[in-house]
């Protein structure tokens, strides 16, 4: 958390505000979750050429430099935040008359500075792949479908919440092997992910605990969850089952999902 909808929300809110602005200064408050911080001095005086996200990761681009944020459990990027959000500030970016604060409450987050393209080790961003490629990538994986969906080296952007929601909508058990899922089921899963992620972006993501958008507001998609965090299946009224998959609590209906 955040996943693709939350990272997309944050980057799309920040982009029209700070893209094209000059980075006047960076104030570092906490060093231990910043990697390659020696490169930051090179960014001063540069214009921000791009603000976007790759899967779950938000990034600022300055010419050939990339500042990548892994927001993990409690991280946030907020523009001109209220004073209380400075309490957890890790770094503050001063761009002309705007300040963007990267904060982290529990310090599981990361900020990494690169001087070359940083996303080669990840799978394609989910938004860039077509159904045929989606099926090809997952079907050759030979493992639990939920694990494959959440593996950022396979496909970038899908995490626990949206994997649970999409598998439920597609009627696929999270414990199914990727090689035992039919092409028709994969198409249904792909379409479910597209629909759920797009709607979640419209609702500015899901706030389960700490997530806030670039203006400090909570998301609203949590009010539309069908299975994640639920006790009763909305389709058949059966008791929702929970299991741990890679230490993540997985919600599914044993009746509706086969």
Mean pLDDT of 201-209: 96
Q: Which pLDDT score, from 0 to 100, does residue 73 have?
A: 87
pLDDT by residue (tens digit) across 20-59?
999 999 999 999 999 999 999 999 999 999 999 999 999 9
For the beta sheet containing 75-79, the strands, ordered from the edge strand earlier in sequence to the opposite edge, are 23-28, 89-95, 98-104, 75-79
* CATH no. of 126-252: 1.10.8.50
The CATH topology of domain 4-114 is N-terminal domain of MutM-like DNA repair proteins (3.20.190)
CA dihedral 40, 212, 125, 36 (to 10 degrees): 20
- Percent of the chain clearing pLDDT 70 (strictly above): 100
Q: Give first-to-last CA distance, the chain, whole Å.
A: 27
pLDDT at 14: 98
Report yes or no: 15 and 213 within 8 Å, Cβ to Cβ.
Answer: no
Q: Is the pLDDT of residue 107 over 90?
A: no
For residue 242, what pLDDT band results from cuts at 50, 70 and 90? very high
- C-alpha–C-alpha distance, residues 241 and 239, integer Å: 6
Q: What per-residue confidence (pLDDT) applies to 249? A: 96
Quote the pLDDT of residue 82: 95
pLDDT at 1: 72
d(Cα 72, Cα 198) in Å, to the nearest integer? 21
Summarize pLDDT for 167-182 with one digit per residue, the tens: 999 999 999 999 999 9
pTM for this entry = 0.97
Mean pLDDT, range 92-120, rounded to an integer: 96
Give residue 213's Cα distance to chain centre.
12
d(CA 155, CA 177): 17
Q: For the chain, where do the domains classified as CATH 3.20.190.10 start and end?
A: 4-114
**Where are the CATH 1.10.8.50 domain residues in the chain?**
126-252
> What does the alpha-carbon distance between residue 1 and residue 159 come to, in Å, rounded to a whole number?
7
């Amino acid at each position: 958390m955040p996943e693709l909808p939350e990272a997309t929300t944050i980057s799309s809110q920040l982009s029209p505000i700070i893209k094209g602005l000059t980075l006047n200064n960076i104030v570092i408050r906490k060093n231990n979750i910043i990697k390659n911080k020696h490169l930051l001095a090179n960014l001063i005086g540069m214009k921000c050429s791009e603000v976007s996200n790759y899967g779950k990761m938000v990034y600022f681009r300055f010419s050939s430099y990339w500042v990548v944020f892994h927001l993990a459990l409690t991280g946030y990027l907020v523009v001109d935040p209220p004073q209380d959000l400075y309490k957890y500030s890790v770094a503050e970016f001063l761009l002309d008359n705007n300040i963007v604060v990267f904060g982290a409450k529990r310090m599981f987050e990361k900020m990494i500075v690169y001087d070359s393209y940083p996303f080669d080790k990840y799978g394609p961003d989910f938004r860039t792949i077509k159904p045929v490629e989606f099926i090809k990538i997952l079907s050759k994986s030979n493992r639990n479908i939920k694990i494959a969906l959440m593996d950022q080296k396979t496909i970038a952007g899908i995490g626990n919440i949206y994997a649970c929601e999409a598998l439920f909508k597609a009627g696929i058990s999270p414990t199914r092997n990727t090689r035992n899922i039919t092409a028709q089921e994969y198409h249904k899963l792909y379409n479910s992910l597209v629909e759920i992620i797009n709607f979640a972006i419209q609702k500015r993501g899901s706030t389960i605990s700490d997530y806030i958008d670039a203006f400090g507001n909570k998301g609203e998609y949590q009010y539309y969850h069908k299975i994640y965090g639920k006790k009763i299946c909305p389709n058949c009224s059966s008791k929702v089952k929970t299991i741990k998959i890679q230490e993540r609590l997985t919600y599914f209906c044993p009746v509706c999902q086969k």
